[in-house]
Structure 1
Amino acid sequence: MKKIFFIFLFLCTAKIIQAQRSVAITIDDVPNMGLFEASNFSSVLQKKLDSLHIPIAIFINEVNLGQPAVLDRNKNLLKSWLVKDYITAGNHGFAHKNFADVGFDAFKEDVLKGEVVTKELLKQEKKELRYFRFPFNGAGNDSLEQMKALQFLKEKKYISTPYTVESEDWLHAILYDKALAEGDTKTASWIGAQYVDFTLRLFTYFDSLSLKMYNRSISHIYLCHDNKLNADYLPEIVNQLKNRKYKFVSLDEAMKDPVYKSPLHYYGKNGFSWIYRWIPDVEMRKKLMREEPTNGEIQKAFEEMNKK
């Protein structure tokens, strides 16, 4: 009888943990003007997101809006993102400059320059620009640079935005675009399937780490980009996560998880998951990073492409 009770308790606990899974979807490098023009001046990704009915946070590089001759047209594209009720806007730096490479003064200038148009458009919608994500997810070369940058962002009323799961969609996207450009739809479909599978494996891995470290499923933040690959395959990832009983929450809601108040134990320019940055033991961090799933076939394909 006692054994039956503990089995029942285990199943109930597993069900609760699964029911508590949640994730906020965040998309960097918006808007993708090349994709917009190639799609007959239409945002395919935006249309797909409209049909998903989930909250989304976008991080904007205003340099993508282009020169004065096309600025008004492209501002209208950005506005079409910002008017959506499900969209939360974030600053990703005007020109996506890596703080570690350019230094504090150039970084500060890039932050301020990157908010001008977005704030103007958000004001019309009675929305605010409260989030910033470091380009390349690196906050300088050391702890002093990082603290200086974070203090500057705090003064400007920005929230520095982390992530927990990222599946190298940018790398998959390069291969995917190449296959499509060559008319190789079979390879493109294979790359898309690899992307979905790899993303799901990473969610499994980082969920296991959150259970190991916090004895619960944390509220994840997924990072991807505005590209053709996500226009075609992000809906599939969302559906697969729904099948796993994930709840899709806003970035505001995800950031309420106490885990995002954890102290950082990594200071530097590498852009890896915040789950690793919260680990004080350097050797443990390295061990867990080595155990993270990889996709050897995609990496090999990318290396071969670069050789050519």
Structure 2
Amino acid sequence: MARLASPGAAVEALADALREGLDPETGPQRTSTPVPAGEVLLMPAASGAWAGVKVVGIAPGNPALGLPRITGGYLLLDGATLLPVALLDGIALTSLRTPAVSALAVRHLAPADRPLSLVLFGSGPQAYAHLDALLAVRELAEAVVVARNPEGARRLAAYAEELGVPKVRTGTAEEVAEADLVVCCTTAREPLFDGRLVRPGATVVAVGSHEPDARETDTALVRRSEVYVESRTAALREAGDLLIPEAEGAIGPGHIAGTLADLVAGRAPADPAAPRLFKSVGMAWEDLAVAVAVYEAARSEEDGGSAGET
């Protein structure tokens, strides 16, 4: 899947879907079913000539068994007949889609006139994939990895060096004070850093949770930031980063400055002095857009191979 669709291609697939008029506000709601091992999520979507559904399992006990915490698959359907056309690895798809969403936001929110200083929270698969995707849209001058697992942080730092980031090291949460870009890819349920430290004009991306009672960023950051989301409807239903400050009375429902579709349409941030926070919860339309890109690349490769056969 990574060979068929690069991080940059996934970013463009998402941007194209929004340019073509897809409205994330109308997308079906993610459903969750508790099961003994954790929960099962269903994420259906339809757009144009395609439909599809991702089935995700979240098993908190799996890491202790040496197994992935998140499992799943994606079924891509022909939109006109609903006949299945492809079955994709759901985790590989998520590892391509989620960073692409973040990178699309970063492309519109973060400065493009200089290499950026990055602080990256987390050392799991999403952190690795986010490095790949960020480098598809911005040049990095420095990457600081902050993670609970010191060895995991060192491995991710070594990976960033392999990707050609000039300065790489492990660090602490307080270093967000010097960052142009802060990216949170964790399973944290409480804020990872003091939002008062984030400097004006910096961009923060939080992707780690889709639960109303979990968050990676604190009320101080949310209150002082221009906030962007994939969909107002989804964010105000699922994003603890926003719902907790709202419950505290620190912000109102109108605090969201715009959506990913607004950014793609060219509506730029209004306040250059404010931090920009992009909060992602993950949406089914994103899976569909990237799954179609992967499928079409596979078909194109197959057709090209067939044309060359004798």
| TM-score, structure 2 as length reference | 0.26
The structure richer in strand per residue is: 2
| TM-score, structure 1 as length reference | 0.26
> Larger relative contact order (C-alpha < 8 A, sep ≥ 6)?
1
The structure richer in helix per residue is: 1
